[in-house]
Amino acid sequence: MNQNIEITVFHEFNSELQTKWNSIEKNIRMYVYQRYSWNFHWYNNFKNEYLFNIVLLENTTGVLGIFPFCINKKGIIKKLQFIGVEQSDYLTPICSPSLNYDLFTEVLKNIKFDYDVIYLKKIPEKIKGIKNNFSLNINAKVSDQSSQIVFSNSYDEYEKSLKSSFRNDNKRNLKRLTELGDLKFINFDFEQQTQKEFLDFISITLEQKERRIKNHLGKTNIKNNSVSSFYKKSFSLIDLNYKIHYSILMLNNKTILASHWGFYDEDTYYYTFPTIEGREWYKYSAGKVLLNFLIHNAFELNIKNFDFTIGDEIYKTNWINSKMKIFSLQIGVSYIGKFYLLFYNVLNKIKGNEKLKSIWRKFKRFIIFNKKRK
């Protein structure tokens, strides 16, 4: 290791870490997910479930890099992951371009707690358009993709680039809903509205998300206190570099047909947590209607990129004009960790095979259906 670099490990968030983290934020481009306030908010809601190892590298010129790791307390397999885990996209170290990533091995030596697997996922190919050297230098493998809209000169120009049949579907969906009554697209005003109003709305959002995931997968962690708290307490998540954005599609001042919790920074809107009211409302495609409003609203805010974040869901293909590779690094450290990765990768191959995936889905639906009957 370069003898001029000093390594410090933090096991909690404190004023010293905040000062050093903020100093590097001023000098490099980063996603919202790498900012101190975002990570501190996640830490405050999940600190009872994880052990924290935040490795900081600095020399006489200042902070060169921060590797914000955590290890789960629960479960048989202990995973070394980036802070943010499921609630964040684009997980990567906060590093100066001059940092030599050969130091990564040295960074890992400074992890205090035992773990079975190094499981670093959601590593972006680029950081705000610039190549992410971390993903290129650690032998990570492509595991997913993210999708974006890069806006052109006008919204009308972008809309004309969409398939005519898709545009017509959007107009039809909007017309069907407006025929049912007073349809409103509402942006929550964090400066004027109260925390109680936000809690009332976000609670409905969480209920919708839980119901939809449960219907598809049979289980969900949305009701987990840490997860629900993360979203409910986001009312007070304040940062000068980005803003939380919460919006709803409401019918007749009483029914929330769809909602979305996301955020935007100086040039990007992040589409992260959409929900819809299912049951008898499912056929009206309220989620698409809300998404159309959000895209138009983002353009009016002079946003250059509308980021659908990670996932290759089919519905995104109708909107997007740009994609980015997402990488992951998986290394078995202990014997049980190596066995776990072997099993995990076999399961993923099954999911990647369309025929086997179809059989797996039918089997899960059969199990869920029979559980409901009981």
The CATH architecture one would assign to domain 152-303 is 3-Layer(aba) Sandwich (3.40)
Model pLDDT, residue 345: 80
Over range 215-222, report the average pLDDT. 72
pLDDT digits over 105-119, tens only?
889 999 989 999 999
Q: Is the pLDDT of residue 133 over 80?
A: yes
Model pLDDT, residue 366: 66
Q: Tell me the pLDDT of the chain averaged across its residues.
A: 89
Model pLDDT, residue 256: 94
Q: Confidence class of residue 307 from pLDDT cuts 50, 70 and 90?
A: very high
pLDDT digits over 136-171, tens only?
888 899 999 999 999 987 888 898 899 999 999 999
Which residues lie across from 322 on neighbouring strands?
148
Q: Is the pLDDT of residue 173 over 70?
A: yes
Model pLDDT, residue 370: 59
Given this structure, which CATH class describes domain 6-146+325-333? alpha beta
Half-sphere exposure of 212 (CA within 13 A, CB side): 16
Model pLDDT, residue 357: 65
Give the closest residue to 141 by CA, choosing from 324, 329, 358. Answer: 329
Over range 220-249, report the average pLDDT. 89
Question: Which amino acid would we find at residue 45?
Answer: N
Distances (CA, A) of 247 to 53, 118, 346: 35, 37, 40
Which of 156-160, 256-260, 323-327 has the least mean pLDDT? 156-160
Over range 122-143, report the average pLDDT. 91
In terms of DSSP bridges, do strands 255-265 and 268-276 run parallel, antiparallel, or are they unpaired?
antiparallel
Beta-carbon contacts of 254 under 8 Å, excluding residues fewer than 6 positions away, are none
Q: Confidence class of residue 348 from pLDDT cuts 50, 70 and 90?
A: confident
Which of 45-54, 155-164, 290-299 has the least mean pLDDT? 155-164
Q: What percent of the chain has pLDDT over 70?
A: 92
Q: Which structure tokens are listed for 94?
A: 């906060």
Q: What percent of the chain has pLDDT over 90?
A: 67
Model pLDDT, residue 239: 83
Q: What is the pTM of this model?
A: 0.89
Model pLDDT, residue 144: 94
Q: Confidence class of residue 363 from pLDDT cuts 50, 70 and 90?
A: low
Write down the domain spans for the chain. 6-146+325-333, 152-303
pLDDT digits over 191-217, tens only?
899 999 999 999 999 999 988 887 776
Pairwise CA distance, residues 9 & 112, whole Å? 9
Q: Which structure tokens are listed for 55?
A: 């490795």
Q: Confidence class of residue 40 from pLDDT cuts 50, 70 and 90?
A: very high
Over range 123-130, report the average pLDDT. 93
Model pLDDT, residue 3: 53
Q: Confidence class of residue 364 from pLDDT cuts 50, 70 and 90?
A: low
Model pLDDT, residue 279: 78
Pairwise CA distance, residues 104 & 86, whole Å? 23
CB-CB neighbours of 92 under 10 Å: 22
Say if CB 52 and CB 70 are below 8 A apart.
Answer: yes
Q: Is the pLDDT of residue 330 over 60?
A: yes
